[in-house]
A and B are shown apart, each in its own frame.
Chain A
Amino acid sequence: MSVISHTAVHLALRNRLLTVSGLPARANENKDYTPVAGTAYVREKLAPATQQGVGISTDSPSEYTGLYVVTYFGVEDTGLAVSTSADAILAVFTKGLTLTATDGSVVRVRSDVAPWRGEVITNDGWAACTISIPYRILTS
């Protein structure tokens, strides 16, 4: 298998996100979602980045990399709640974690550049924090 299904990869990462306890409403990629003022929600997106051959033959394995980007939108002026929720999401994507996608791809959360979260940014009544999960897939 030298070609992967990014849809399958996305679903594997999304399913992992869904294991977070107390996850609020979810805005899925390319799906209309109208935020409700005062109600927290998360937005998720797959950002496939690179594909690189790891051998000299045309049928050599490929290495795919990308980012799974989750943004937690909490309510502005609610203190550390947003930060705590972002930490809970980050905690389920430990470095080295492997997830098997429905197409058989093994999605590995990178260890060389481990998942991280940014600062909380307030904007338009929301307090948002983005969690970035770098992943790698090596085809067989």
Chain B
Amino acid sequence: MSDFSASIHNFVTKVQVANQRVFLGVATEALRSIVEGSELTGAPGQPVDTGNLRASWQLTFPSPTSAQISTNVEYAPIIEDNLRGAKFRNHGPNSVKLTRAGLPRIVETVAAREAK
């Protein structure tokens, strides 16, 4: 293999690795934003009463290029939208929505971090 071909191959490998690191980093940041809250998105994180909802959030990878953040707690949508008008003692509602709206900033931040 010529030096040029080797250089191109190395570059492609480097980009693929960086791409994977950004993908994983974005997924992890999004999970943190929903569960714990985030300065990047303004999400307050999951309110904690028993800890059941907070502990239920999972990050899974249905395919190599997709990530899924989910919970199987039935009342999660009621907390997210605060449909019962609760007064939260910690954290708050709207974390999934704020994470969705803040995703471009998560991507920008993680990509910048990985570029260093």
Contacts and interface: CB of A to CB of B under 8 A. Distances in A.
Interface of A: 43, 47-50, 52, 65-67, 69, 71, 73, 110, 112-113, 118, 121, 123-124, 126, 128, 130, 132, 134
Contacts of B100: 113, 132
Contacts of B85: 43
B56 to A, nearest CB: 18
Contacts of A110: 101
Given A47-B42, A110-B101, 6 more contacts: A49-B41, A65-B102, A65-B105, A67-B101, A128-B81, A128-B83
Nearest to B44: A47
B81 A50 contact: no
Q: Name the residue among B41, B84, B98, B102 with the largest chain A CB count within 10 angstroms.
A: B98
B97 A67 contact: yes
B84 A121 contact: no
Q: Name the residue among A49, A52, A66, A132 with the largest chain B CB count within 10 angstroms.
A: A49
B82 to A, nearest CB: 8
B83 A121 contact: yes
B40 interface: yes
A113 B81 contact: no
B94 A69 contact: yes
B77 A49 contact: no
A47 B99 CA distance: 12
Interface in B23-71: 39-43
Given A65-B42, A121-B77, A49 B83 contact: no
A47 B98 CA distance: 9
A123 B83 contact: yes
B78 interface: yes
Contact of A121 (B39, B81, B105): B81
